[in-house]
Amino acid sequence: MRNLSRLLIAGVLAFSAQTVMAKVTFNLSTPDPDNSEITLAAQKYAELVKTKTNGEVEIKVFPNGQLYSGDPSAAVRQLSGGSLDMLLLSTSLYANFNSKFTAISVPYLFDNTEQLRAYLSGPLGKELLGDLGKIGIKGLMMWQRPFRQMTNSRKPISAPSDMVGMKFRVPNNPLWMEFFAKMGAVPTPMAFGEVYNALQLKVVDGQENPINIPVAAKFYEVQKYASMTNHMADGWVLGINPAKFAKLSDQHKKALQDASAEAEAWKFANDTADANKSIDFLKSKGMEVNSLTPEQQKAFVAVSKQLFPKFLELVKDTAFFDKTLSAVGKK
């Protein structure tokens, strides 16, 4: 009887050890604050993964780029090297590693968010995800991001001429440099973590991001005007270190993939509901918000079309650029 008890105890301890060993924890880093659209979506993703794996895979979300000191290029390298487990970073920043990602953010390329989502989840989006393997990253999915808008401290923007001489913070991406320079602005590349202070100290006059970012980053404290220009699309890459992904069971791999699709759908619905709330919030903080009329927007579209030859140079892949233009009816 005593031997049986010992065997039972040993069995329980062995089972408990296997259970503990079976649990996997990943850290998922996002570049924006707790209340930003991407960090909220990351938290939803973590919740979905936990449910789908019965808690066997836990994802801990770390906002504000804190795991990579706010340097997105370093984050990509850390993800490839394994010091970061998972990362959500914008497609525009991946363009520094693969110029084909530049195509997503060609100004006024997409007519609406539905068209952007179809592109990101379609053959060309999957081609971009597959290309991430060349830099040591497993791409799980690309998520849509709300179209980008402009804020500044000087005046409303309703025509490209309004931007002449205005210093705008832009991501470190040649596409932004070309477009804003063509409109007469002075594009100033800068890490996102430096933007608030630069706006506050008038180092730059304005910035451009999805409309929820001025809310999350409190830019309303240092900006007076928001203009709904819808000038560029962008996406988010949900990436994981390939070696860590490879160690997962097939069931857990499928759970991470399935959860990424469900989180993207949740994010789309949440972003749509959040846009009007963000505008109302900014107005309540004293910002003036203006929207472009279709006629006014045509002037910005014309600037973009003039730059198509230059954008092709930046994408560096004629076939991919042509396929992109055909996919969105701009060929």
Nearest to 142 by CA among 101, 180, 83: 101
What CATH number should be reported for the domain holding residue 38?
3.40.190.170
In this structure, the answer to whether residues 202 and 313 fall within a common structural domain is: yes
Check the CA dihedral 199-202-207-211 and report its sign. positive
Judged against a pLDDT cut of 70, whether residue 121 lies above it is answered with: yes
**Cα separation, 316 vs 236, whole angstroms:** 21
DSSP-assigned letter for residue 146: P
In this structure, the answer to whether residues 99 and 133 fall within a common structural domain is: yes
Q: What is the mean pLDDT of residues 59-75?
A: 94
In this structure, the answer to whether residues 195 and 89 fall within a common structural domain is: no
Give the number of domains in the chain: 2
pLDDT at 216: 87
In this structure, the answer to whether residues 158 and 75 fall within a common structural domain is: no
Give the domain extent around 41.
Answer: 22-145+233-277
Q: Is the distance from CB of 146 to CB of 271 less than 8 angstroms? A: yes
Q: What is the mean pLDDT of residues 280-303?
A: 96
15 Cβ contact list (under 8 Å, min separation 6): none
pLDDT confidence band for 316 (50 / 70 / 90): very high
In this structure, the answer to whether residues 70 and 124 fall within a common structural domain is: yes
In this structure, the answer to whether residues 60 and 183 fall within a common structural domain is: no
Tell me whether residue 4 is in a domain: no
Tell me whether residue 6 is in a domain: no
Tell me whether residue 322 is in a domain: yes
Share of the chain above pLDDT 90, in %: 85
In this structure, the answer to whether residues 288 and 261 fall within a common structural domain is: no
Judged against a pLDDT cut of 90, whether residue 105 lies above it is answered with: yes
pLDDT at 14: 47
pLDDT at 189: 94
pTM over 0.75: yes
Tell me whether residue 240 is in a domain: yes
pLDDT at 172: 81
Cα 189 to Cα 71, 107, 253, 260, 268, distances in angstroms: 13, 17, 37, 31, 28
Tell me whether residue 300 is in a domain: yes
Tell me whether residue 302 is in a domain: yes
Strand partners, 229: none
pLDDT at 8: 52
Judged against a pLDDT cut of 60, whether residue 20 lies above it is answered with: no
pLDDT confidence band for 19 (50 / 70 / 90): very low
Q: Is the distance from CB of 74 to CB of 193 less than 8 angstroms? A: no
Q: What is the mean pLDDT of residues 50-57?
A: 98
**Cα separation, 179 vs 106, whole angstroms:** 9
Convert the pLDDT of each residue in 184-224 to its tens digit.
Answer: 999 999 988 899 999 999 999 999 999 989 998 999 999 99
Judged against a pLDDT cut of 60, whether residue 290 lies above it is answered with: yes
Which among 277, 293, 311 is the end of a domain? 277
Q: Is the distance from CB of 110 to CB of 233 less than 8 angstroms? A: yes
pLDDT at 66: 94
4-18, 109-123, 165-179, 225-239: which range is least confident on average? 4-18
In this structure, the answer to whether residues 198 and 119 fall within a common structural domain is: no
In this structure, the answer to whether residues 125 and 50 fall within a common structural domain is: yes
Q: Is the distance from CB of 120 to CB of 109 less than 8 angstroms? A: no
Convert the pLDDT of each residue in 189-199 to its tens digit.
Answer: 998 889 999 99
pLDDT confidence band for 173 (50 / 70 / 90): confident
Judged against a pLDDT cut of 70, whether residue 4 lies above it is answered with: no
In this structure, the answer to whether residues 135 and 162 fall within a common structural domain is: no
Q: What is the mean pLDDT of residues 219-248?
A: 97
pLDDT confidence band for 17 (50 / 70 / 90): very low
Tell me whether residue 3 is in a domain: no
Tell me whether residue 2 is in a domain: no
| Mean pLDDT for all residues in the chain | 93
In this structure, the answer to whether residues 64 and 113 fall within a common structural domain is: yes
In this structure, the answer to whether residues 132 and 42 fall within a common structural domain is: yes
